[in-house]
Amino acid sequence: MRHVYVHVPFCARRCSYCDFSIAVRKRIPAREYVDAVLQELRFLGMTDPGREPGDAKDGLETIYFGGGTPSLLPPDALGTLLTSLRDAFPATSFRDDVEVTLEANPESHDAARIAAAVRTLRDAGIDNISLDLIFALPADLGRDWARDLDQALALRPAHLSVYGLTVEERTPLARWISRGAAAAPTDDLYADEYLLAHSRLGACGYQFYEVSNAARDGRRSRHNSAYWSGRSYGGLGPAAHSFDGAVRRWNISAWEAYRRAVAAGRSPVASQEVLTDEQRELERVYLAMRTDAGLPVAALCRPLPPSAARWLERGWAEVRNQRLVCAPEGWLRLDALVRDLTGCGITG
Ligand code: SF4
């Protein structure tokens, strides 16, 4: 295993659109959290009979602290987690260029706070910075997407993620929409804002290397790229997922239940799914078409059936270096494209 995800479930409050597995806390139980994750790490070591403490077959290439709001953890808690992860993997294969990602929340959607947070990071010597932006917000908010894109670009982050808002059930936003207090975003707004992000970011030297992610100067997320290329990864913490190439497991999502399980020496795994050959093939096609790697043309049946050929005719997909890749308009219709491609029988 070369890629580890650590889920930090705590947030100061719940955002109106969010249905993630989080624990809202005024005081972050950092010590209890670190103890629980370390117990899970020890538990994983104990369940692998071929592994001695401090000895793993593979070293780490990427570590991703996601949430929740991992930046709420105090520095010593993060330091302990990193040191423990390093000690769990042999120094020889803990790569010098290990990529460590930490999601952070500048605590306000005020643009000045975001600029100040970016300055603070750069002053501390961290320049590989990514900003997350959400588009297709309800019109009532009076959002100016072009202005927000330009403000983000003015900070020259190495990486930008743009996510379309989805209205999840059981969120305050869904309730506001159902009682008419807010209007659901339209498909047209979604498409217009997504395509505007492509043209604005492209003009500033960013390359979309995945449906929602763009980087300049090749600074792609190595951790997320591992997910998209189907590599195995391990997850620690409540709600974290793991994948070994065939089986996907996920942990108990509620923080307290997770903590009690590992404290009692029980596995925190809530459930697992063994992927069938058909599911793995569908997932492989879907993941490949999410990225600018696409699929080798040689793997597609020839001639393409009309349902798949129209993607090329309409410019929603193109052939680049002998690979079929999505254009931005194709990424907007990714599910339909994968249906058309898998219906034509991809061969390898
Ligand atoms: S900060 Fe992120 S994880 Fe926490 S509630 Fe808001 S959207 Fe959800």
pLDDT tens digits, 25-64: 999 999 999 999 999 998 887 444 455 544 545 578 999 9
> What is the average pLDDT across 271-280?
92
User: Residue 324 has what pLDDT?
Assistant: 92
- Between CA 71 and CA 65 the distance in angstroms is 9
Nearest ligand 1 atom to alpha carbon 11: 4
Nearest ligand 1 atom to alpha carbon 68: 3
Which of 68, 74, 71 lies closest to 10, judged by CA? 68
- Between CA 7 and CA 97 the distance in angstroms is 22
Nearest ligand 1 atom to alpha carbon 14: 5
Q: Do the bridges between strand 159-164 and strand 130-135 make them parallel or antiparallel, or are there none, so unpaired?
A: parallel
Of 32-36, 50-54, 264-268, 278-282, least confident by mean pLDDT is: 50-54
Burial (Cβ within 10 Å: 0-12, 13-18, ≥19) of residue 328: middle
Say if ligand 1 is within 6 A of residue 253 CB.
no
Which of 24, 109, 8 lies closest to 68, judged by CA? 8
Q: Check pLDDT > 80 for residue 91.
A: no
- Between CA 271 and CA 319 the distance in angstroms is 40
User: Residue 36 has what pLDDT?
Assistant: 97
User: Residue 342 has what pLDDT?
Assistant: 77
Q: Check pLDDT > 60 for residue 181.
A: yes
pLDDT band of residue 321 (cuts 50, 70, 90) is very high
Q: Check pLDDT > 80 for residue 73.
A: yes
User: Residue 90 has what pLDDT?
Assistant: 62
Question: DSSP class of residue 188?
Answer: H
What is the whole-number distance in angstroms between the Cα of residue 157 and the centre of ligand 1?
21
What is the whole-number distance in angstroms between the Cα of residue 82 and the centre of ligand 1?
23
Tokens 């932006």 correspond to what residue? 133
Best substitution site from 20, 103, 107 to test ligand 1's pocket, by max atoms within 8 Å of Cβ?
20
Are 276 and 270 in contact by the 8 Å Cβ rule? The answer is: no
Of 80-89, 140-149, 181-190, least confident by mean pLDDT is: 80-89
Tokens of 130: 């990514």
Are 61 and 99 in contact by the 8 Å Cβ rule? The answer is: yes
Q: Do the bridges between strand 3-8 and strand 234-236 make them parallel or antiparallel, or are there none, so unpaired?
A: parallel
- Between CA 270 and CA 276 the distance in angstroms is 20
Tokens of 235: 């997850």
